């Protein structure tokens, strides 16, 4: 039971981080391999704000999220927007991998390779409910993820800009023919994807020790989640994020933590064997 | 025939896709207020010509003038703002979005919500399917219904020029007739229509003007009636010259324009 609750709470944060990745892929057909290191960059932003400026981790997000949005917009404008043609998706892996290496190297230089963890009063304290102990940070992280994902949902389904994003997700040429500025939508989506990832980075940094190399482990998990959920499917990222982490936690408790990491990928192999398009993906003629 | 004031002028247009010119020195005028149909064999450059109007293909040489604006070099968005809307050959509705959302997106460039609402009401009156299936996903509609919703969507900008690229593609004969009737209706509502059609005979019957493209050149232009009855063109592209009310002998029909 505890593992199940833990899985849902942690999984929602993974879902938040993976949503950024799948949004970027859905609109732009770009696989942003740098998403893992961008989570860590978000964590380091929070680390700097809390240790050097004494700003609360959640309050600090008011700075981190816009800052990460700007980072995303700059990466998109300078590097990603130049990718065109049929090789675009494949090239995006190489380009964003190079970006990831540069960010990782810079973070190592600035913060050293020592592991860090974000601290605040709610990071180490728990409360008890029905005999189960809930660490505050997991609950707050869950609420943050739910809040941000709900805001994203409202933006996508209740606003004109959201409609233009969904139209661009579906068919870029048709979107351009009704007057949607697909380039602008792409830039903003990349910024949004990186921004919400940065928010996830704060929770990740508060619940795990991290250094710049942690991004590599994260990106494999995030890619697994969006492939399982269906590439480009926002709902899929949410369900798959929670499912994967819950399965991992339950396997860790019931069998052994040694098997828990592997269970992540076993779930992927089993689901893809039955549904190659992922849980909520659609088979399409899109060629990567 | 509609009043013959020039609306769009193609002047010495050369355009292609990088592998040589598809359009070679195309020059003709689209008069205001009528339906102008471009016909010609496959590969003659009909669709490319329409793409130059909507900004999807940029001509290498020449000018396309619409109400004193040269459209060459403008983005599709800028051209939309001038009141030129294209309905492409392939279905272009967003399948996962509702019919109403699709139609509303037609007015994406309009900011005033009241204006959008009143246009939506107008479009619903003209196309009952938009009201009847408002909340259904566009992907659940039949091909003909999707085409009507695309027409409805393009009218949300209240365009002055509607550019239709083979709207009959994939439609059954019954739907085809209602589609052509709708084109005429849009025209009667004040839109100038520029149309490319493989169903050349049916399209020319409802057209005020006809243009025959052949191998990237304008081979002939005139009234719809003249093009339809031109003996040489009729033999080449329309399955034999005929008058408006006499069907061509089936054996001489080389392009099967009229599946009915």
pLDDT tens digits along B82-112: 999 999 888 889 988 999 999 999 999 998 9
| ipTM over the 0.95 cut-off | no
- Distance from the B36 Cα atom to the nearest Cα atom in chain A, whole angstroms: 21
**Does residue B167 share a domain with residue B74?**
yes
Please check whether residues B66 and B193 belong to one and the same domain: yes
Look at residue B70 and tell me if it is in a domain: yes
Chunked into runs of 10 residues, chain A (288 residues) has average pLDDT values of 81 90 86 94 96 94 96 95 87 95 95 90 83 86 92 91 89 87 92 93 93 91 89 84 87 81 83 83 51
Number of independent structural domains in chain B: 2
Interface test with A, best of B105, B137, B158 (most A CBs within 10 A): B105
Q: Is residue B201 part of a domain?
A: yes
Whether residue B38 is found in the same domain as residue B126:
no
Does B101 sit within 8 Å of A179, measured CB to CB? Answer: no
At B239, is the pLDDT very low, low, confident or very high (cuts 50, 70, 90)? low
Q: Which residues pair with A132 in a beta bridge?
A: A129
Instruction: Let me know whether B67 and B149 are in one domain.
Output: no
Task: Tell me if B104 is assigned to some domain.
Answer: yes
B56 shares a domain with B185: yes
Residue B250, pLDDT > 50, answer: no
CA dihedral angle for residue A106, residue A112, residue A115, residue A118, rounded to 10 degrees: -70
Q: Do A177 and B104 touch (CB under 8 A)?
A: no
Cross-chain residue pair B105–A164, CB shorter than 8 Å:
yes
Q: Give dist(CA B132, CA B100) in Å, integer.
A: 10
Chain A residues touching B81 at Cβ < 8 A: 179
Co-location of B29 and B153 in the same domain: no
Closest alpha carbon to A252 in A6, A46, A69, A44: A6
Please give the helix or strand (H or E) that residue A158 lies within, else none.
Answer: helix A136-158
CB–CB contact B96 A170 (8 Å): yes
Burial environment of residue A283 by CB neighbours within 10 A (0 to 12, 13 to 18, 19 or more): exposed
Query: What pLDDT shows up at residue A87?
Result: 86
Q: Are residues B38 and B196 in contact, defined by beta-carbon separation less than 8 angstroms?
A: yes
Q: Which residue of A has its CA nearest to B95?
A: A170
Residue B260 maps to a domain: no
Q: What is the pLDDT of residue B255?
A: 36
Asked if residue B165 and residue B79 are part of one domain, the reply reads: yes
Within an 8 Å CB–CB cutoff, is residue B117 touching chain A?
no
Same-domain check for residues B145 and B229? no
Degrees to nearest 5, angle at CA B26 with B23 and B28: 145
Shortest alpha-carbon distance between residue B109 and chain A (Å):
6
Residues of chain B numbered 17-46 and touching chain A (CB < 8 Å): none
Residues of B in contact with A174 (CB under 8 A): 88, 92-94
CB nearest A178 (choices: B81, B96, B108):
B108
Q: Does B232 score more than 80 pLDDT?
A: no
Final residue of a domain: which of B126, B158, B190? B158
| Distance of alpha carbon B205 from alpha carbon A286, whole angstroms | 40
Name B209's bridge partners. Answer: B36, B223
Claim to verify: residue B54 and residue B98 sit in the same structural domain? no
> Which residues contact residue B1 at a Cβ distance below 8 angstroms, ignoring those fewer than 6 apart?
B34, B208, B209, B223
The tokens of B68 are what? 């004193």
Same domain, B166 and B248: yes
Contact A177 B97 (CB under 8 A): no
Question: For residue B260, what pLDDT band results from cuts at 50, 70 and 90?
Answer: very low
pLDDT of A285: 43
B241 pLDDT more than 90: no
Asked if B76 is an interface residue toward chain A (Cβ–Cβ < 8 A), one would say: yes
pLDDT digits (tens, 9 = 90+) for B168-178: 888 888 888 88
- Show the domain range for B36: 1-83+160-171+181-255
Q: Is residue B176 part of a domain?
A: no
Residues whose CB is less than 8 angstroms from the CB of residue B111 and which lie 6 or more positions away in sequence, other chains included: none
B60-83 per-position pLDDT tens digit: 999 999 988 999 999 888 999 999
pLDDT score recorded for residue B35? 95
A–B CB contacts, 8 A cutoff, strictly below: 52
Cβ–Cβ under 8 Å, residues A198 and A68: yes
Cβ partners under 8 Å of residue B231, min gap 6: B241
- Tell me: do B44 and B22 sit in the same domain: yes
B57 and B164 part of one domain: yes
From B156, which residue of chain A is nearest by alpha-carbon distance? A178
Which residue's entry shows tokens 């081979």? B219
Q: In CATH, what number is assigned to the domain containing residue B210?
A: 3.40.50.300
Are residues B38 and B46 in contact, defined by beta-carbon separation less than 8 angstroms? yes
Q: Is the pLDDT assigned to residue B247 strictly greater than 60?
A: no
Q: Counting Cβ atoms within 10 Å, is residue B88 exposed (0-12), middle (13-18) or buried (19+)?
A: buried
């Amino acid at each position: 039971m505890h593992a199940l609750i833990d899985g849902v709470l942690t999984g929602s944060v993974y879902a938040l981080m993976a949503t950024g990745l799948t949004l970027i892929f859905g609109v732009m057909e770009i696989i942003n391999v740098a998403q893992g290191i961008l989570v860590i960059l978000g964590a380091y932003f929070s680390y700097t704000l809390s240790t050097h400026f004494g700003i609360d981790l959640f309050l600090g997000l008011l700075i981190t999220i816009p800052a990460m949005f700007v980072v995303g917009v700059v990466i998109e404008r300078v590097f990603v927007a130049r990718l065109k043609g049929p090789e675009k998706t494949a090239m995006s892996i190489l380009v964003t991998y190079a970006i990831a290496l540069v960010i990782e190297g810079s973070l190592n230089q600035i913060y050293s390779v020592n592991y860090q963890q974000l601290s605040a009063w709610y990071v180490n304290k728990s409360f008890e409910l029905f005999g189960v102990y809930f660490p505050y940070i997991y609950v707050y992280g869950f609420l943050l993820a739910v809040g941000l994902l709900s805001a994203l949902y409202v933006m996508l389904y209740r606003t004109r800009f959201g409609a233009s994003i969904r139209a661009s997700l579906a068919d870029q040429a048709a979107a351009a023919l009704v007057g949607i500025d697909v380039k602008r939508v792409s830039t903003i989506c990349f910024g949004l994807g990186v921004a919400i990832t940065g928010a996830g980075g704060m929770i990740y940094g508060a619940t795990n020790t991290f250094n710049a190399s942690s991004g590599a482990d994260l990106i494999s998990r995030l890619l697994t989640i969006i492939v399982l959920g269906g590439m480009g499917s926002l709902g899929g990222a949410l369900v798959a994020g929670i499912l994967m982490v819950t399965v991992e936690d339950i396997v860790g408790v019931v069998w052994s933590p040694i098997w828990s990491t592997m269970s992540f990928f076993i779930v992927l192999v089993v689901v893809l064997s039955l549904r190659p398009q992922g849980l909520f993906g659609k088979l399409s003629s899109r060629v990567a | 025939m509609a009043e013959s004031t020039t609306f769009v002028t193609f002047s010495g247009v050369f355009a292609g896709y990088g592998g040589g010119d598809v359009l070679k020195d195309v020059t003709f005028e689209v008069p205001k207020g009528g339906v102008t149909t471009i016909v010609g064999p496959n590969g003659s450059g009909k669709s490319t010509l329409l793409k130059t109007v909507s900004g999807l293909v940029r001509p290498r040489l020449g000018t396309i003038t619409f109400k004193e604006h040269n459209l060459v070099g403008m983005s599709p968005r800028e051209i939309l703002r001038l009141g030129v809307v294209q309905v492409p050959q392939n279905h272009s509705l967003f399948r996962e979005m509702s019919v109403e959302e699709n139609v509303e997106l037609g007015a994406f460039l309009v900011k005033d919500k009241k204006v959008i609402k009143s246009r939506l009401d107008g479009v619903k009156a003209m196309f009952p399917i938009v009201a009847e299936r408002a909340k259904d996903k566009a992907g659940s509609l039949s091909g003909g219904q999707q085409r009507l919703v695309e027409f409805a969507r393009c009218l949300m900008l209240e365009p002055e020029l509607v550019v239709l690229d083979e709207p009959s593609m994939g439609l059954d004969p019954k739907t085809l007739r209602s589609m052509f009737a709708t084109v005429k209706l849009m025209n009667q509502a004040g839109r100038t229509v520029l149309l490319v059609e493989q169903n050349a005979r049916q399209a020319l019957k409802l057209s005020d003007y006809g243009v025959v493209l052949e191998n990237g050149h304008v081979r002939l232009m005139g009234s719809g009636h003249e093009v339809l009855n031109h003996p040489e063109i009729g033999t080449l592209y329309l399955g034999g010259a005929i008058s408006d009310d006499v069907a061509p002998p089936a054996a001489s029909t080389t392009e099967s324009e009229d599946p009915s």
